[in-house]
Amino acid sequence: MTLHGNPLSGGRLALAGGFGVAVAAAVYAVGRVHTPDYAIGLFGRSGVAVVRLKAQLATAVLVLAAAQLGTALWMYRRLPGAGAAPRPVPLLHRLGGATAFLLSLPVAAQCVLAYGVQLSGPRVAVHSLAGCFFYGAFAAKMVIVRSRRLPAWALPVAGGLLVTLIVVLWYSAALWYFAGFQLP
């Protein structure tokens, strides 16, 4: 099968997808075999203070993801009425993405170490699986963004998947906390 006339595009896209699946599966496996330690803190905080801190960090990641979406739409001239993006926008896009990813790491590490990957209820299962898929999707997007020979739709689909997963993660944990430990 060829994509846009390039017989290698399908293989490269499969490689990116396979790498993403492998990363997601590895995070899942680690989270499932790890013995949870509910006493693990984060930056010197414990108990409900950890949950609050993670909700705040996740909210920052959500805001950065929204900015990522906006700058990507602007760079690719899909932001109505915005015109061409100025020169600093691609750099800001990359810095925003790197910052969002780095902010997500302590949250994810604490989640995996304290709770592991749990499938005990719908909210917890969705959150755990979305976390695994997020890091897999991020890995796949990094392969896609570095390849110039993939179909034009691959990068926006990968970026859109990342934003969607961030929204799901935020909704299933940060909003759950902010709403008094219940989903609205």
Residue 170 covered by a domain: yes
pLDDT tens digit string along 105-142? Answer: 999 999 999 999 999 999 999 999 999 999 999 999 99
**pTM to 2 decimal places:** 0.91
Residue 2 covered by a domain: no
* Percent of the chain surpassing pLDDT 90: 86
- Among 3-12, 82-91, 124-133, 165-174, the least confident range: 3-12
Residue 100 covered by a domain: yes
Residue 183 covered by a domain: no
How many domains is the chain built from?
1
Task: Kindly state the average pLDDT of the residues 18-41.
Answer: 96
Residue 104 covered by a domain: yes
Residue 13 covered by a domain: yes
Residue 1 covered by a domain: no
Cβ pair 165, 126 in contact under 8 A: no
Structural domain boundaries enclosing 159: 7-178
The answer for residues whose C-beta is within 8 angstroms of residue 119's C-beta and 6 or more apart is 125, 128, 129
- 71: closest CA among 169, 184, 156? 156
Look-up of token digits 């699946």: 21
Average per-residue pLDDT for the chain: 93
Cβ pair 152, 40 in contact under 8 A: no
Retrieve residue 109's tokens: 């590490």
Q: Which residue has better confidence, 172 or 6?
A: 172
